Chain A
Amino acid sequence: MTILVIAEHDNKVVAPATLNTVAAAAKIGGDIHVLVAGQGVGALAEAAVKIAGVSKVLVADNAAYAHQLPENVAPLVAALAQEAGATGYSHILAAATSNGKNILPRVAAALDVDQISEIISVESTDTFKRPIYAGNAIATVQSNAAVKVITVRATGFDPVAAEGGSASVEAVAAAHDAGTSSFVGEELAKSDRPELTAAKIVVSGGRGMQNGDNFKHLYALADKLGAAVGASRAAVDAGFVPNDMQVGQTGKIVAPQLYIAVGISGAIQHLAGMKDSKVIVAINKDEEAPIFQVADYGLVGDLFDLVPELAQTL
């Protein structure tokens, strides 16, 4: 068995989610190859060869793969799976990031197989568990496809070490350019705090924050804790904070050591994004709020008194 993991990257660094995906591949067992597709990705390939447990790094360095447009990358991945033939890839894995979710179903359809999305555990080489209904049920799914196409929920697997591996490097010459799409531009939110999905502590605010300015209380607390700051959909929709901070079924899925929910009622859709956190703390003035049903520690009161007090105590 050989497993192909598609590296998640921003053309500068290999994203931590790749390490969780390699961990899932290691649980399946077999040779692990990593595909780095992009433009000018030499340095990324050098980082990828050091990932523990990876035996080969495939480098597809081509202008067609800059920005990783799915119309171009998906045919590349599908071709790699097909070219390899009988001795080829048994599994194709990508992290369930916006990139992985964008590209992988296109690969699965090209290979005429069903995909399994956002697995949280590996039961055997062909059987996996994944949450459905916003995490209110866990399905065990078996695939009899020749090539199993899977996205991996990063928070379900502990990452492998980024150093210590010694994989070989192989250049992939193929250049697939479908010519149906082009990159126009991007606008990335700037943040000095840890990345939300990788942070050990997350402090999130909801509608109870009342306005965007009040998020400064959460930033102050987060800086004391070295935490990332998240938000509920209500806070994002109200324009308090940008949407890439949203935690939930339709936003980011996080599972930090400590999740502090401030002024968040705890709707099903929000819980789907954070209920696998190790310890959950809720600060809310409404003691009937559903968030208290999942919180390990609840504090009832006015967040505008309690959050600054908490930041001071630390």
Chain B
Amino acid sequence: MKVLVAVKRVVDYNVKVRVKADNSGVDLANVKMSMNPFCEIAVEEAVRLKEKGVATEIVVVSVGPSTAQEQLRTALALGADRAILVESAEDLTSLAVAKLLKAVVDKEQPQLVILGKQAIDSDNNQTGQMLAALSGYGQGTFASKVEISGDSVAVTREIDGGAQTVSLKLPAIVTTDLRLNEPRYASLPNIMKAKKKPLEVLTPDALGVSTASTNKTLKVEAPAARSAGIKVKSVAELVEKLKNEAKVL
């Protein structure tokens, strides 16, 4: 079966971002960019499905600027067969991305679509669910285990009190949680081979999708800074401070 994996280019998770002085956003100029960590897990899961003989083809798709080709090449080096970039220089909302992905799903007809549960830049946690709604497919969000049997997939999900397992009819949408797997690293020979794998570039216009949004970001600010704390010397001093100064005990 064919598996479609969506990946996003985001600021690297180790970077401490800074808010721009004019409050228009965060400063991403000359900042290290990477594949969103949850998307890496999605790619890994698809590759493992292929290694098990369940998946026959892995198509990786990204919606974003032309530089997102780097992240698509990374996914190809990890084991994806071919890539699609829906190129858009704008900052798109989750709904717009879901609509573009729906157009790609219609075109490619995958049996399984795997996304990360959230991107670490917008922290939205929406796109997979929205894609599931638009395509009418079942959704297995926050997946920690994915098992395909026949025409259905059993997804174990991380929920607030523990874990829940649901069964979805294929085709279905799965979004990955951190514990689904441990992503592998791309080897140098595979990085070289990935350069020769096909990468198709599309545009929202070519897909006939409007990316208009009902949301507008008015400003972006730095969070209120915590006032500097103090180091105490002993447990007794700590308890005294918590009781008499902070009054939380």
Contact = CB atoms under 8 A, between A and B. Distances in A.
Q: Do A and B bind each other?
A: yes
Interface of A: 10, 67, 69-71, 74, 97-99, 101-110, 112-118, 127, 131-145, 178-189, 197, 201, 225, 233, 236-237, 242-244, 249-250, 252, 257-258, 268-269, 275, 278-281, 287, 292, 294-300, 306, 309-310, 313-314
A279 B248 contact: yes
Contacts, number: 251
Nearest to B102: A109
Task: Identify whether the interface residues of A are mostly helix, strand, loop, or mixed.
Answer: mixed
A102 B141 contact: yes
6 closest A-B pairs by beta carbon, nearest first, are A105-B129, A109-B133, A180-B138, A145-B214, A109-B130, A105-B126
A179 to B, nearest CB: 8
Nearest to A184: B165
Contacts of A309: 235
Contacts of B139: 70-71, 102, 106, 181
Interface stretch (B51-59, B91-99, B105-113, B199-207): B91-99
A164 B248 CA distance: 29
Listed residue (B11, B118, B120, B219) with the most chain A CB atoms within 10 angstroms of its CB? B120
Interface of B: 11, 13-14, 16-17, 19, 26, 93-95, 98, 117-118, 120-134, 136-139, 141-142, 144, 154, 157-169, 172, 177-179, 213-223, 226, 229-232, 234-236, 238-239, 241-242, 246, 248-249
Contacts of B160: 97-99, 197, 244, 252
A183 B166 contact: yes
A223 B241 CA distance: 20
Nearest to B98: A109
Nearest to A278: B248
Contact of B142 (A98, A189, A278, A300): A98
B113 to A, nearest CB: 14
Nearest to A248: B178
Contact of B238 (A140, A181, A281): A281
B16 A136 contact: yes
Given A136-B17, A275-B226, A314-B239, 18 more contacts: A71-B132, A101-B129, A108-B126, A109-B129, A109-B130, A110-B133, A112-B95, A115-B95, A132-B26, A138-B223, A187-B163, A187-B164, A250-B117, A295-B229, A298-B232, A310-B235, A310-B238, A314-B249
Contacts of B17: 133, 136-137
Contact of B120 (A99, A134, A186): A134
Contacts of A142: 215-218
Contacts of B168: 180-181
Contacts of A97: 160
A141 B215 contact: yes
A136 B223 contact: yes
Contact of B93 (A114, A140, A294, A299): A114
A268 B217 CA distance: 23
A127 B168 CA distance: 37
A201 B16 CA distance: 28
B229 A131 contact: no
B123 A117 contact: yes
B177 A250 contact: yes
Nearest to B182: A237
27 contacts: A69-B166, A74-B133, A98-B158, A102-B129, A105-B130, A106-B129, A110-B133, A114-B214, A115-B94, A117-B124, A131-B223, A133-B120, A136-B17, A137-B19, A137-B223, A139-B220, A141-B215, A141-B217, A141-B218, A182-B166, A186-B164, A250-B118, A258-B246, A258-B248, A279-B248, A300-B231, A310-B238
Contacts of A184: 154, 165-167
